[in-house]
Structure 1
Amino acid sequence: MTLPGDRHYTVELHASAERVPQIRRILAAHLRYWDLELHIAPVCRGVAELLTNVHRHIGPDAPCVVELRWTGRHLTASVADQGPRLPKLLSAGGGGLSTVAALSDSWGTCGTPDGKVIWFTRRVEAARKTPLTSRTPLRSVPDAKGQPAVPPAVPVEPLVEPVREEAAATAAEATPAASSAMSMA
């Protein structure tokens, strides 16, 4: 299987509450373009959590950089901001970094000369480009001329011997309850 080359997307923005839905749509478009549809929801949710943290802890309209990088095996999303304090994972289920940790295979933070970067990674294999296999259409679907689209079925030998009428009649005569049950059916 051949792996795609390194793909990269970066956007600079101000972490306002109004920008988060727009960034989610932009990231989703890039992930779709890279054939990574299965990762849209978790990656966009994780980035939204990180942007919300920037907005909440650094300040409204704080400048930051969102980056996506796909190496063919790993998809990394990161948010860099100018805040000097490194975040801490508080408790599971509380949002923020606990959500990011739950959505990713690994995550971390690192200080930079102008602030910090918070990142998370998901293991991603390249999308398989297998052609669709042709399937036999349903019997009830007619072709363009109104004829059944599937040729008549080839008779198949039954796995179980059919019940012969003679045996059923003999059983009905033997027990009156059986004959009344058969007549109700």
Structure 2
Amino acid sequence: MIRQPSRHCTVELQAAPARIGHVRRIVSAQLRYWRLDALVDPTALGVTELLANVHRHARPSKHCTVELWVLLDQLTVSVHDEDPRLPRLRTADDWETCGRGLALIAALSQSWGIRPEDHGKVVWFTLPAPAAGPEGVRTVRPLWAPPPLEDAHPTAGPRTLLPGTKVG
């Protein structure tokens, strides 16, 4: 199955601290415009971490591009920079004040990765995108599922049913 982007956004910037906050606000506003409010916080956190890595480590330039794509059921966020050196996931010691960025990306995302390119690299992560629920209500499928609740006995009291649900 070929999946085409249904929504796409690109922001180019110099990864300076003031610009990082500005891009975080742009990304948050774009997700709200797309009605993906549930993804604002994890996306803003991930973008902040990736841009902070560009600011701290990228050479020779801090120029980078942030891209957002929503494909059917997935948001992909990527940061392209001009530094060919690939970051590595590592375990930071308790006393260290940095070194947890990629671990944070790995923890908050559905998937993530690093891809070398002709003029630098791309670091990306994905989050599950909302699916249309009953009567157009948009829901986000969690990355984990709580244990199922046991069904209440039919005589235990009233149950709330979604419109269009059949009892039987």
Normalising by structure 2, we get a TM-score of 0.70
SS at match of 2:16: coil
Instruction: Tell whether the 8 Å contact from 2:59 to 2:82 is kept in structure 1 after alignment.
Output: no
Residues 162-182 of structure 1 deviation map (CA, whole Å, 9 limit, x = unaligned)? xxxxxxxxxxxxxxxxxxxxx
Deviation string for 1:77-132 (max 9, x for gaps)? 00000001111001279421111111101000000000000000011233447379
1:158 match: none
Aligned to 1:111: 116
Mapping of 1:79-158 within 5 angstroms? 79-91=79-91, 94-128=99-133, 130=135
Q: Deviations over 1:66-85 (max 9, x none)?
A: 00000120000000000011
Structure 1 partner of 2:15: 15
Identify the structure with the greater strand proportion.
2
- Please give the residue correspondences for 1:25-104 in structure 2 after superposition, counting only pairs within 5 Å: 25-58=25-58, 62-91=62-91, 94-104=99-109
Q: Say if 1:75 and 1:121, in contact at 8 Å, map to a contact too.
A: yes
What is aligned with 1:148? none
- The alpha-carbon deviation at position 5 of structure 1 amounts to 6.0
Q: Please tell me the residue identity of whatever aligns with 1:87.
A: P
The TM-score normalised by the length of structure 1 is 0.64
The percentage of aligned residue pairs carrying the same residue is: 48
Q: What is the RMSD of the two structures over their aligned residues, measured on CA atoms?
A: 2.4
Distance in 1 separating the partners of 2:83 and 2:6: 29
Q: One-letter code of the match for 2:39?
A: H
**Distance apart, 1:26 and its partner CA:** 0.4
Runs of 5+ in structure 2 lacking a partner?
138-168
Residue identity matched to 1:37: D
Please state how far the C-alpha of 1:46 moved relative to its aligned partner. 0.3
Question: 1:6 is aligned with what amino acid?
Answer: S
Partner Cα separation in structure 1 for residue 136 and residue 69 of structure 2: 27
- Answer with 1 or 2: which has the greater Rg: 1
Q: Does the Cα contact within 8 Å between 2:59 and 2:83 map onto a contact in 1?
A: no
- Shift of residue 20 of structure 1? 1.1
Pick closer, same or farther for the CA change 1:109–1:6 going to 2, 3 Å.
same
Query: In the alignment, is the contact (CA less than 8 A) between 2:90 and 2:100 conserved in 1?
Result: no
Alignment of 1:160-179 (within 5 A): none
Q: Contact conserved, 1:15 with 1:60, CA < 8 A, in 2?
A: no
Where do 5+ consecutive residues of structure 1 fail to align? 133-185
2:24 maps to 1:24:
yes
Count of aligned pairs: 130
Q: Distance in 2 between matches of 1:16 and 1:27?
A: 16
Q: Give the C-alpha shift of residue 59 in structure 1.
A: 5.2
